[in-house]
A and B are shown apart, each in its own frame.
Chain A
Amino acid sequence: MYPAHMEESIRKVEATRERRLKESLLRLGDEQKTPLLQRYHPDYVAGKMRQLALGPNKGDYTPDEVADLLEGNSCLDPDKIDLGRVDYDVDVLVIGGGGAGATAALLAQENGAKVLLTTKLRLGDCNTVGAQAGTQAADRPNDSLAIHYLDTMGGGHFANVPELVEALVKDAPMVIKWLGTLGVNWDKMADGTMHELSGGGASRLRLHSARDYTGLEEMRVLRDEIRNRKIDYLEFSPAVELLMDDKGQVCGAVLVNLETNELTMVRAKSVVMATGGMGRLHIQGFPTTNHYGATADGLVLAYRVGAQLIFMDTMQYHPTGAAYPMQILGQLVTEKVRSLGAQLVNVDGEQFIMPLEPRDVVAAAIIRECQERQKGVKTPAGQVGVWLDSPMIDMLRGEGTVARELPAMVRQFGRFNIDIAREPMLIYPTLHYQNGGIKINTEGATTVPGLFAAGECEGGVHGSNRLIGNSTLDIFVFGRRAGRAAANWSKEVKSGSLTLEHVRCWQKDLERAGLSKLRPVSPLLLPDYARPIPDYLPDYSAQALTAHRIKLT
């Protein structure tokens, strides 16, 4: 159910549909992509990034919102922490309970380590569960690791670290099999052939999916396996600082109980950082598809022990976030909708971009269509967007395809009386993924001994733009590698005595740079949507009400 003025535009979309079913736009060449990205992609907007003033990546550009946290103050006073009181003493501490963390914990345990997993919210509260479309792996006869490699490099603008991409594509089929063995229900034909879809920037049908609940299916299986194997885990207990030893090795972390503020000290021979992304920082005010806890905590902690970061100047804006209704603003409309054949069309019902270009290119084209060309559709809440013409799917693939392939999307829009098999969805780019992160090698080791990283908080695999289905692949490939490597490291390492000297040094550097009073305390842990009213919601006349609140803590 759309308001009248939006219905008017839908009539135009319907009028052009018959013609568009046969119309296919050409993919853009580099000479067209580059200026499109440079003029319209948020990564290139001047004045929204700055150079880091200190730390291992001093001088590198990153969005202001990220820089503030990376240059932030520790919440701990090392003089007040009793390092003699250790609550947990383990081989491997995994920080983060999403797909990468759960995978790393399973593999570390399989490789003989005593493991503790700690996470900020519940086990499995993470971006993985929101991943809908699928996981890439080149396992069909007409596909190959080389083609997957080439697609990934091209999608990432050839900036990706080649060795990491090699690991990614090489482990991929084995990862699909591993998940199947754990009981993940892949979409298959009756003869066992995987039902694989195409995705933006992929030149073969390579997406392994579980309806449009792929990440949820993967995560609920992994979470159950963690429980079955009796791996210890702590919930609502984020890490606020890493611990080091006097030899410069990472060996544990300080956790905080989110509800009581009590500190928990964990000594570990190695740490796997798997804290996920940063969508909840709302870079440049964009809404986000991300989980409530996606606040870049792992980057902050790793940076403070001296770990190098990579590609921190590039974010992924998913081209299709919901722009209407307001209740689901910014939420993910899976790329699978385009994989199944839906086109992107403007207010007049005209296509303006080949829908399966890489994500950054599609996002830039939508922004151009709405801003420069003024061909977007405005909602009552003041959002602008373009149509994703989902009714084409049943026309192309037969009645019932939408219901069968996109149950999550049907449900999400159905709540607001929008039948996506009959009516298009209004969409606009939304902050989706952190392309860069902590620098790792092929075994998930960071530049600091004893610290490993896996999943969205690590960087290099995707260059400056990630392809669909390569993120859920990344968490398993590097979750497995990091978990195994951390377990092996723990067998060999001789740990020294615990210290928070790195925090003292960091605070001194911050003061010397004149920044300590200007920067917030970090990690952020959770966004504060309670006060004031969050930016991502429209302004209300009633906003004045909230001005009367004071902060008691």
Chain B
Amino acid sequence: MAESARMVDIHVMGKHYQVPEGLTIMTALEYCGYRLIRGCGCRAGFCGACATIYNFKNDHQLRYDLACQKTVEQDMYLVQIPFFPAAKAFYSLEEIEATGEQVLSLYPDLVKCFGCNTCTKTCPQKLEVMWYMSDALRGDIRQVSAKSFDCVMCGLCAARCPQGLVPYNVALLCRRLYGRYLAPVSRHLEDRIAEIEAGRFDDDLEKLKKMDVRELRRLYAGREIEPAN
């Protein structure tokens, strides 16, 4: 950043500050002097802690993003979203079934979705939230899993749903059902676990553990490397 960094005007909860161009919303808040406790997590777009609402001085349309990822723009008005509890169904994964009826019985409000698409427009990951909610309603657990996979669980979809639905928790239920019950079984994993339990590798490991470093280095240097797939 050059010495002559251009400054942009932003408003944090209504108060005016000037910050250098190119900062994210999060680093801009810190630049203004805020030491964050809430609304700051991995700082890399994965944890969903920093869901943010903003609009502009002359454009009152609300917009949404992750504070750690979004760059500040001229005349931005910023609000960190406060905590509010979101509905979550409690269940024991081993005692439920991977069916549409099951999903609907845990989240009966699903039927209230009237397709306004606010959730999709709100998602900072740009997921097709409304479409996976309709997949959930139809009981297509596989589709919900695939479409919702990149969800960081920031909760913005639930914050904005006019019907009080919680798409991110519905999606989590569906992914867990898919992973446990619908994904194909990995035969080679089962076989390997059986071999370990039968002690097939015990002697090898015992030998390696006792081996002196010179011998280990020799083995390491000479090990065969499988080509990348």
Contact = CB atoms under 8 A, between A and B. Distances in A.
Q: Does chain A bind chain B?
A: yes
- Is chain B's interface secondary structure helix, strand, loop, or mixed overall? loop
Nearest to A415: B69
Interface string B37-48: 110111111110
Given A292-B41, A411-B150, A186 B179 contact: yes
A50 interface: no
A203 interface: yes
Given A177-B193, A185-B179, A150 B45 contact: no
Interface residues of B, number: 83
Contacts of A158: 213, 216-217, 220
A193 B172 CA distance: 23
A149 B205 CA distance: 8
Contacts, number: 262
A325 B21 CA distance: 12
Interface string B185-197: 1111111110010
A496 to B, nearest CB: 36
B125 interface: yes
Contacts of A198: 226, 228-229
A192 B191 CA distance: 13
Interface stretch (B23-31, B112-120, B132-140): B23-31
B128 to A, nearest CB: 13
Residues of A contacting B: mostly: loop
Interface stretch (A454-462, A467-475, A502-510, A536-544): A536-544
A220 B145 CA distance: 13
A146 interface: yes
A121 B41 contact: yes
B41 A185 contact: no
Q: How large is the interface on A (under 10, 10 to 19, 20 to 34, 35 or more residues)?
A: 35 or more
A380 interface: yes
A30 B180 CA distance: 44
A407 interface: yes
Interface in A183-236: 183-186, 188-194, 196-198, 203-205, 210-211, 213, 215-217, 220-221, 224-225, 227-228, 230, 236
B3 interface: yes
B60 interface: no
Contact of B229 (A137, A163, A205): A205
A538 B1 contact: yes
B180 A203 contact: no
B46 A216 contact: yes
A170 B35 contact: no
Contact of B71 (A191, A327, A534, A538): A327
Interface of B: 1-5, 7, 18-20, 22-24, 27, 30-31, 33-38, 40-47, 49, 69-71, 88, 90-94, 125-126, 145, 149-153, 172, 175-180, 183-193, 196, 201, 204-205, 208-209, 213, 216-217, 219-221, 223-226, 228-229
11 contacts: A121-B37, A130-B44, A149-B205, A166-B205, A174-B193, A185-B145, A194-B186, A291-B43, A328-B44, A408-B46, A529-B27
Interface of A: 27, 29-30, 121-122, 124-127, 129-130, 137-142, 144-147, 149-151, 153-154, 158, 162-163, 166, 169-170, 173-174, 176-177, 180-186, 188-194, 196-198, 203-205, 210-211, 213, 215-217, 220-221, 224-225, 227-228, 230, 236, 258-259, 289, 291-292, 325-328, 331-332, 339-341, 356, 380-382, 407-408, 411-412, 415-416, 526, 528-531, 533-534, 537-542, 546, 549
